[in-house]
Amino acid sequence: MSPFMDSWVVTLGGLSILAFTSVLYIRYQNAVASINGFPGLRTVFNAFSVPGTLTRAIPGLSMPRMYKWEQKYKLYQKTGWDIYSGISVWPKATVSFSVADASAIKEIVQDKARFPKPAFAILALYGPNVVTASDNDEAKRHKKVAAPAFSERNNKLVWRETSRIIGEIFADWGDKEAVSINHIVDITLPLALHVISAAGFGRPISWQDEVRSGAQGAIPAGHLMSYQEAIETVCKGVFTRLLVPSWAMGFRTRWRKIAVAFHELGQYMSEMIESRRKEGDTIKTDEDGELYKSDLFSNLLAASDAEGVSGKGVLSEQELMGNIFIFLLAGHETTAHSLAFAMGLLACYPEEQQKLYEHINSVLPDGRSPRYEDIPLLTRSLAVFYEAMRLYPGVPAIGKTATCDTTLTINASIPSGADVTDGKHDQRKTVFVPKGTFIMLDVLGLHYNPRHWSNPDVFNPERFMKADWNRDAFMTFNAGSRACLGRRFSEIEAVTALTMILMRYKIELNGDLFQIIPGEAPRATRERLLKVTQGITLAPVRLPLVFRRRV
């Protein structure tokens, strides 16, 4: 190439870069003007785009993967308000707001027309469901059918199955004085899986046969995997399945197994739908004379068929499968990780563990296992679970979209160490929100907001023992019409598990796998022990514990 051509290439390249930079700059200026220059975060790439995902470690190009966890309430203190903006300019200009104000969040979740939930088609792996439905009428149709599935009978089945599985875990541990666990999630994940398998699908799994021995169960004709292996592989591989395109799932052995498991579970669900419809009213009763098939799957199918008889919103087979999969995903991982955090916190704060033990003894003075009727009385077990979810919420943020130009009235943020009651931070500001803005209900920011929670960084289950705690500032189970249908399912499972374990064992730090520093403050120990990572939900990286038999 001649020097003349070389110079033209360089010139054209320079002009292209200048034009591209100019376009990005104009996009940025227009975006800033659209929100009247409200302060916040500025990046080149949208964090959810491919380049945004690849450049998360580079400041200014994209948002770090764990920035919500790392910042919690700090970014609000920097802007001075319980809201901050976000602007990115590639692949297109995007404007967002993150909100940690309980009153503003309540307004947003209650006004479904102005702030609808965006479509999450990525979670429709088996079919549309109550979570992926963005249209309000469609969401109502799914919820009308799904809500009755979470019946009192199903709640009782959750208690019964949790009690059974914890009993099998105790039998597996035997008379050992101490049981060392490398990572408590290795206990809580299969525990939650077994509960959702029995109370969700009506298919109990034995801890002894399936977890301890590693047996995967028989493979029926026409299948490549047993039901147990399929459901376990799906639960472990769902994040991979969400991120990896279908055409690429055959590239690695593990990915191929996950793809097969998803197909197999879908086939099992189709067979169960056909089988349950054939059973009809002939479903057998349990030892208490109650219908055993009070699992979510059977209830959901019955509710959908009832809608069909009335000529209303019957769910298709794909929608039935989509909903039961969402219940499996939400009911499995979130509860398992929250239970893990709760037990890790009790190990870090032995005085709080003692308070819980004494409370349990006051409710169950005869030392018997809790009955279903005892669950509402075990208020401190629930308070510990709530406080763990406040500090470590499964979903750090919830998305909404503004359908029109609108405004939000926001409280001033509370500076670090400030007195919330002195009235110096009672100012409120009206913030303009342009049409199309993505709004993040910042669960972490809300849960660490000093306006709503006294000393929010402190592990203090006592705050949930008071009748007047702020329900609007606790978003672990979402809120409004899109609140989690399985909230009671999760609570009963957690209260039963925590209560039964604390009755028999002390939960301690595992000194063989985690450095115990004599005299260290519980908060410092907690920060070293409870490192987190973000997958589908917030999860502990590694949480080694010891369960020491009570004398």
Helices (H) and strands (E) in the chain, counts: 18, 12
The residues, ordered by sequence, that sit 6+ positions from 112 with a Cβ below 8 Å of its Cβ are 136, 480, 481
Task: Give the H or E element holding residue 237.
Answer: helix 227-243
Q: How far is CA 441 from the centre of its chain?
A: 14
For residue 538, give the 3-state DSSP assignment. strand
The residues, ordered by sequence, that sit 6+ positions from 400 with a Cβ below 8 Å of its Cβ are 108, 109, 115, 116, 117, 118, 438, 439, 440, 441
Q: What is the DSSP secondary structure assignment for residue 514, as one 8-state letter? A: S
For residue 419, give the 3-state DSSP assignment. coil
Give binding residues as ranges: 484
Burial code of 199-221, b = ≥16 C-beta within 10 A, e = fewer?
bbbbbbbbbeebbeeeebbeeee
Cα–Cα distance between 234 and 378 in angstroms, integer? 33
For residue 423, give the 3-state DSSP assignment. coil
Give binding residues for heme as ranges: 484
Task: Give the H or E element holding residue 85.
Answer: strand 83-90
Q: How far is CA 217 from the centre of its chain?
A: 29
Q: What is the DSSP secondary structure assignment for residue 403, as one 8-state letter? A: S
Angle between helices 522-529 and 335-348 (to 10 degrees): 140
Residue with tokens 């999860």: 539
> In this structure, are residues 122 and 242 in contact, taking their beta carbons and an 8 Å threshold?
yes
For residue 489, give the 3-state DSSP assignment. helix
Angle between helices 253-279 and 317-329 (to 10 degrees): 120
For residue 263, give the 3-state DSSP assignment. helix
